[in-house]
């Protein structure tokens, strides 16, 4: 997906504040943070969203959560708590159509979310 902004971040064609990277996954700071810690964890492979995950993506989908866990520890928010969010589709407000998991922390969260 040549015009996908998150594919381009994954390929390091667009600059971002990367906090974690391996062969399959990259995590970087959100450009418009909604909490003191706001990091996006994405697969490097293009998957448009949760609806587009296949059974072959089972391991990859799980790895996004494990990377979020690692980054939460790295950022010092693991003990106090954090929220993992995946917006899926229009009603959820998904703006970027490349699967991404939001890691939010560093402040008290409200429930239910808006
Ligand atoms: P969503 O609404 O779940 O699709 O979230 C998309 C997120 O991507 C938003 O929180 C944006 O602030 C963030 N975002 C968009 N472009 C960039 C970028 N170039 N670098 C970092 N974060 C971005």
Residue with CA nearest ligand 1 atom 20: 31
The closest-lying atom of ligand 1 relative to the alpha carbon of residue 29 is 21
Q: How far apart are CA 93 and CA 90, in angstroms?
A: 5
Ligand 1 pocket check for 30: Cβ under 6 Å: yes
Q: Which domains does the chain carry?
A: 5-105 (3.30.428.10)
30-56: average pLDDT: 98
Cβ atoms 56, 77 nearer than 8 A:
no
Task: Say what the pLDDT of residue 85 is.
Answer: 98
For residue range 35-46, what is the model confidence (pLDDT) as tens digits? 999 999 999 999
Task: Say what the pLDDT of residue 2 is.
Answer: 77
| Residues annotated as part of the active site | 100
Task: Say what the pLDDT of residue 81 is.
Answer: 98
Q: How far apart are CA 60 and CA 50, in angstroms?
A: 12
Ligand 1 pocket check for 96: Cβ under 6 Å: yes
E strands, the chain, are: 18-21, 25-29, 37-43, 82-85, 101-105
The burial class, CB within 10 Å (0-12 / 13-18 / 19+), for 101 is: buried
Which tokens go with 16?
């971002």
Task: Say what the pLDDT of residue 1 is.
Answer: 73
pLDDT > 70 fraction of the chain, expressed in percent and rounded? 100
Of the pLDDT bands very low, low, confident and very high (cuts 50, 70, 90), residue 114 is confident
Region for 8 from its dihedrals, namely left if φ exceeds 0, alpha if ψ lies in -120 to 50, beta otherwise: alpha
The Cα angle at residue 101 between residues 73 and 41, in degrees rounded to 5: 60
- Largest pairwise CA distance in the chain: 39
For residue range 63-92, what is the model confidence (pLDDT) as tens digits? 999 999 999 999 999 999 999 999 999 999
């Amino acid at each position: 997906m040549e015009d996908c902004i998150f594919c381009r971040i994954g390929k390091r064609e667009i600059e971002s504040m990367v906090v974690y990277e391996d062969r399959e996954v990259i995590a970087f700071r959100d450009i418009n943070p909604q909490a003191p810690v706001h990091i996006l964890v994405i697969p490097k492979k293009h998957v448009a969203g949760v609806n587009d995950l296949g059974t072959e993506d089972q391991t990859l989908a799980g790895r996004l959560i494990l990377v979020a866990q690692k980054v939460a520890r790295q950022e010092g928010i693991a003990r106090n708590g954090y929220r993992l969010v995946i917006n899926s589709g229009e009603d959820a407000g998904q703006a970027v159509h490349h699967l991404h998991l939001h890691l939010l922390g560093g402040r008290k969260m409200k429930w239910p979310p808006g």
